[in-house]
Amino acid sequence: MFESLSDRLQGVLGELRGHGKLSEADVDKAMREIRLALLEADVNFKVVREFVAHVKQRALGVEVLESLTPGQHVVKIVDEELAALMGGGDSKLAFSGHSPTIILMAGLQGSGKTTACAKLARFLQKDGKKPVLVAADVYRPAAIDQLVTLAERLHAPVYAPGSHVDPVDIAKQGVVFAREHGDVAIIDTAGRLHVDDELMDELVRIRGAVKPHNILLVVDAMTGQDAVNAAEQFRQKVDIDGVILTKLDGDARGGAALSVRAVTGKPIKFCSTGEKLDEFDYFHPDRMASRILGMGDVLSLIEKAENAVDAQDAVEMEAKLRRAEFTFEDFLVQMKQVRKMGSLSSILGMLPGMPGMKQLKGVQVDDSQLDRIEAMIFSMTAEERRHPELIDGSRRQRIARGSGTQVKDVNLLLKQFREMQKMLKQFSSGKLGRFGLPGLKM
């Protein structure tokens, strides 16, 4: 999402890093570029004005101008101010001491609200909670069916009496149902194509009837300033507690993420980063700021790895690697675990200096390449996966036909696999050390 903004800001700050000493003119020039970059990213103009003023005031301080590394100081200031711009407020949910905790979900039609309900339920399940979904959107065609289908995928209880029942009654009875079948009630309310009195009145009535512990507004990050304006109107009418930002994996400019907290005063509590139900997490302003500035997000990457990789499997795999017994079967297991962490581009985007990967000339990161490799391995027999040396010319042709690839693709895969096995043997024998340097023992 922030790719264009990230490129612009990194370019501006990269120039500042090259200065041995900064003048006020240098800072002014950088601030003009930062202002333009933020405005082009569809950030609210009042937010941009205040942000640039804060950064400039700090950047012109004596500590920065007289520093031996003034450019690094300015980068640090921009990083801190970006985090402050997106942060503020508690991102955690409020849980009731008496079951169930009630979460009221609001938002405009098309914001991904119903899917966000299911993603939040999945998130809470991983935390040991027992969420119950309540289908109170009786106006959008198929909204109830969609929530029921998602609940079935989650194996979560769902209360859906139908579109003929008043939404306020559905919400009240849904809470009673949740008390009997779980400990959290997630109420999916109706959305509209725009903010209107009918929508707000219904939300106010539902809020008064169930007294929710959390009111979360689902905002489509792709809609930019429209999303921020809608969020402010929801805040005024129903007093939301926080925001769920959806479609952060899209190609929008990022203005909503950078503006919504500053405009509404409410924190972004969660973000949705993909279509899968697992691609949903707490929103970390400091980590997002670091990613925008090309400094990576190693903490999130570690958390993804911990969730994706089983500790016992990791120990067993390490032993296999040390014995140089890595096979195509093991390779499939590793690919599956990597894919649980998200797309390759999203993973690499969390590494310092590699945002979006487009700055790496000649490097193409495409998850479809993994699909091709997977197809070729699945086209092998179990014996061939364990003993690739058995794969002769006729077998290669069969594997290529079975995977929809060409023989040259199979040849390349086998060649790369042999090279990897050769390197593993060098590691295990001590010819290559921990850092791939000859003579360094493991």
Q: Residue 94: inside a domain, yes or no?
A: no
> 109-118, 196-205, 342-351: which range is least confident on average?
342-351
> With contact defined as beta carbons under 8 Å apart, do 169 and 144 qualify?
no
Q: Which residue has the higher pLDDT, 290 or 426?
A: 290
Is the entire prediction scored with pTM above 0.85? no
Is the bond into 438 cis (omega within 30 degrees of 0)? no
Angle subtended at Cα 33 by Cα 27 and Cα 39, rounded to the nearest 5 degrees: 130
Supply the CATH number for residue 391's domain. Answer: 1.10.260.30
Residue 358 has pLDDT above 70, yes or no: no
pLDDT for the residue numbered 203 = 93
> With contact defined as beta carbons under 8 Å apart, do 18 and 62 qualify?
no
Q: Which residue has the higher pLDDT, 209 or 287?
A: 209
Supply the CATH number for residue 271's domain. Answer: 3.40.50.300
pLDDT for the residue numbered 250 = 64
Cα–Cα distance list, 106 to 122, 169, 234 (Å): 18, 17, 8
Mean pLDDT of the 303-323 span: 59
Q: Residue 436: inside a domain, yes or no?
A: no
> Is there a single domain that holds both residue 269 and residue 356?
no
> With contact defined as beta carbons under 8 Å apart, do 304 and 402 qualify?
no
pLDDT for the residue numbered 376 = 92
> Is there a single domain that holds both residue 42 and residue 173?
no
247 vs 225: CA distance, rounded Å: 15
Instruction: Render pLDDT for 86-105 as a digit per residue (tens, 0 to 9).
Output: 886 667 898 988 889 999 99
> Is there a single domain that holds both residue 239 and residue 315?
no
> Is there a single domain that holds both residue 243 and residue 168?
yes
Instruction: Render pLDDT for 402-434 as a digit per residue (tens, 0 to 9).
Output: 999 999 999 998 988 888 777 766 655 555 444
Closest CA to 113 of 8, 183, 192: 192
Q: 201-207 contacts: CB < 8 A, separation 24 or more? A: 202/167, 202/168, 203/104, 203/106, 203/237, 203/238, 204/237, 204/238, 205/168, 206/104, 206/136, 206/167, 206/168, 206/171, 207/104, 207/238
CA atoms within 13 A on the CB side of 9: 26
pLDDT for the residue numbered 311 = 58
Residue 21 CB neighbours (<10 A) = 11
Per-residue pLDDT band at 297 (split at 50, 70, 90): very low
Mean pLDDT of the 99-119 span: 93
400: containing domain? 302-429
> Is there a single domain that holds both residue 40 and residue 23?
yes
Q: Residue 441: inside a domain, yes or no?
A: no
Q: Which residue has the higher pLDDT, 103 or 228?
A: 103
Q: Which residue has the higher pLDDT, 158 or 254?
A: 158
> Is there a single domain that holds both residue 164 and residue 306?
no
Close Cβ partners of 69 (under 8 Å, ≥ 6 residues apart): none
Instruction: Render pLDDT for 173-216 as a digit per residue (tens, 0 to 9).
Output: 999 999 999 999 999 999 877 788 888 999 999 999 999 999 99
Mean pLDDT of the 275-280 span: 87
pLDDT for the residue numbered 218 = 92
Per-residue pLDDT band at 398 (split at 50, 70, 90): very high
pLDDT for the residue numbered 366 = 60
Q: Residue 46: inside a domain, yes or no?
A: yes
> Is there a single domain that holds both residue 71 and residue 212?
no
Mean pLDDT of the 133-156 span: 94
> Is there a single domain that holds both residue 127 and residue 166?
yes
Residue 172 has pLDDT above 70, yes or no: yes
Supply the CATH number for residue 56's domain. Answer: 1.20.120.140
Domain finish residue from 41, 63, 86: 86
Q: Residue 384: inside a domain, yes or no?
A: yes
Closest CA to 370 of 393, 352, 390, 347: 347
How many independent structural domains does the chain possess?
3
CB-based burial of residue 306 (10 Å sphere; 0-12 exposed, 13-18 middle, 19+ buried)? exposed
Close Cβ partners of 294 (under 8 Å, ≥ 6 residues apart): 6, 10, 352, 353, 354, 355
> Is there a single domain that holds both residue 173 and residue 231?
yes
> Is there a single domain that holds both residue 238 and residue 319?
no
Mean pLDDT of the 371-393 span: 89
Domain finish residue from 295, 327, 350: 295
> Is there a single domain that holds both residue 273 and residue 146?
yes
pLDDT for the residue numbered 435 = 38
Q: Report the percentage of the chain scoring pLDDT > 90.
A: 32
To the nearest whole number, what is the mean pLDDT of the chain?
81
Q: At what angle do helices 3-17 and 70-86 cross, to 10 degrees?
A: 150
pLDDT for the residue numbered 315 = 62
Q: Which residues pair with 158 in a beta bridge?
A: 133
74 vs 55: CA distance, rounded Å: 8
> Is there a single domain that holds both residue 57 and residue 178?
no
